[in-house]
Structure 1
Amino acid sequence: MSAVTYRFLRLILSLVAFVVLRPKVTGLHNIPRRGPVILASNHLSFIDSIIIPLVVPRHVTFIAKAEYWTGRGLKGRISRWFFTTMGNIPVDRDDPRAGQRSLEDALQVLRRGGAFGIYPEGTRSRDGKLHPGHTGVAWLALASHAPVVPVALVGTDKVQPVGKRLPRPVRGIHVQFGAPIDPSRQITAGARPAQVRREFTDQVMASIHRMSGQELAA
């Protein structure tokens, strides 16, 4: 990936997003300017993985399904170029070890001092509710010692509702970044690793819930 190409693409997309959508962004001061950081967000729309990198003043890497790299024809070439230029990491969802492989790839990004974006729910919410988080975010934070910045997205589901292929110029998006959560403070003497990961994940999700105001899924 060319850094120049990435910066150019990000500039163009940022101009379009801020003119058309005018997202409200708060809490950017909570994101460290350098060093490893995990951005853990709720997930309402495909456009979430575009909006977050555009408003964060750092290069944010996301995992993306491998199908974005394997399409044919002009659409396939554009998709492959876009996701490669944005620095996303492909993951084969048919691979039974895909989940662990994606965490290992993310760990390498963090060890290089990068910013990594993750959706603890695992997939976008189809009902608009906030679903329980998977503990991969905690595993990643504890393995990398990177702080986790909770992210709450509001309104992106209206830009591209579930089932719609193209985004709509709807305003009212709010992207809020919460206070960083330090994984080193979560380790308590005698606690089982699984318990630590569960408690840490629940803390991240509680922060997202406070900011997003979403109804909790049962």
Structure 2
Amino acid sequence: MAGGPLYPISRMTVAPLLRAVWRPHVEGRDNVPREGGVLIASNHLSFVDSVVIPMVAPRKVVFLAKADYFTGTGPKGVATRTWFNAMGMIPVERDDSRAAVDSLDQALGVLRDGEAFGIYPEGTRSRDGRLYRGRVGVAHLAMKADVPVVPVGIIGTPAVMPIGSNRPRVAKVTVRFGEPLIFGEEFAAMPAGKARRLATDQIMDAIAALSGQERASSYNERPPG
């Protein structure tokens, strides 16, 4: 089971404190199944998205997180490492293709253990605010684990932690959980590649409807360096 021994403590103490400070507006919490494996698929605008979603979700949500977040120094590095470890985040080397494949296997294990796994289908955060084309890993996981996908639209997190900023700010944040999407027999009858692409596009359409973002037709590539 993902999540360390600090999770119950952080859930009861840190999460309420952060909610009291930021007071996020949350819609559709009841759309998240309380039991069983489920994918939480969200747009990605800021580093703090992986803090906000576990903070407001009705159950534990495990994310992949780049390994750098687990090795930082100074007060911010310690705080980040403590939070990500407490929430059971799974470290992944961002530029290591073998590690990326292994991390998806770990994600599959989380889902098969009946837990909630969070994923950003865009792959990396949007630097211009647009919603980019989804990568098919989200559909691969949903179909392989046979779990529903709850689309999520986050609004306002760039104002909490602007790109290049080292300090979070108090800003209005909205989190919208959409109705679960299930990809069953109709998709099982399709060629695998077509099924994953179609399912991923449906997930991105649902996220766009929740977030209200302008769409981009291309994939979101990480900036060099």
TM-score by length of 1: 0.92
Q: Return the letter of the residue paired with 2:193.
A: A
What CA distance in whole angstroms lies between the structure 2 residues aligned with 1:81 and 1:161? 21
Partner of 2:156: 155
More divergent stretch after superposition (26-35 vs 178-187): 178-187
Instruction: Give structure 1 stretches of 5+ with no counterpart.
Output: none
**1:160–1:198 CA distance, 2 compared to 1 (3 A):** same
Residue 103 of structure 1, CA deviation: 1.1
More divergent stretch after superposition (130-139 vs 179-188): 179-188
Partner of 2:134: 133
User: Does residue 1:51 correspond to 2:52, yes or no?
Assistant: yes
Aligned length: 215
What CA distance in whole angstroms lies between the structure 1 residues aligned with 2:186 and 2:166? 41
Partner of 2:206: 207
What CA distance in whole angstroms lies between the structure 2 residues aligned with 1:67 and 1:97? 17
What CA distance in whole angstroms lies between the structure 1 residues aligned with 2:146 and 2:181? 11
Counterparts of 1:56-95 in structure 2 under 5 Å? 56-72=57-73, 76-95=77-96
Counterparts of 1:35-46 in structure 2 under 5 Å? 35-46=36-47
More divergent stretch after superposition (53-62 vs 35-44): 53-62
CA RMSD of aligned residues (A): 1.7
Residue 74 of structure 1, CA deviation: 6.5
Partner of 2:109: 108
Partner of 1:175: 175
User: Does residue 1:216 correspond to 2:215, yes or no?
Assistant: yes
What CA distance in whole angstroms lies between the structure 2 residues aligned with 1:212 and 1:192? 30
Question: What secondary structure is seen at the aligned counterpart in 1 of 2:165?
Answer: coil
Instruction: Assess if the C-alpha contact under 8 Å between 1:186 and 1:200 holds in 2.
Output: no
User: Does residue 1:142 correspond to 2:146, yes or no?
Assistant: no
Q: Return the letter of the residue paired with 1:30.
A: N
Instruction: Assess if the C-alpha contact under 8 Å between 1:45 and 1:162 holds in 2.
Output: yes
**1:75–1:43 CA distance, 2 compared to 1 (3 A):** closer
Question: What secondary structure is seen at the aligned counterpart in 1 of 2:13?
Answer: helix
**1:126–1:2 CA distance, 2 compared to 1 (3 A):** closer
What CA distance in whole angstroms lies between the structure 2 residues aligned with 1:133 and 1:167? 28
Instruction: Assess if the C-alpha contact under 8 Å between 1:53 and 1:60 holds in 2.
Output: yes
Instruction: Assess if the C-alpha contact under 8 Å between 2:62 and 2:117 holds in 1.
Output: yes
Partner of 1:195: 194
TM-score by length of 2: 0.89
Residue 98 of structure 1, CA deviation: 2.8
What CA distance in whole angstroms lies between the structure 2 residues aligned with 1:186 and 1:105? 27
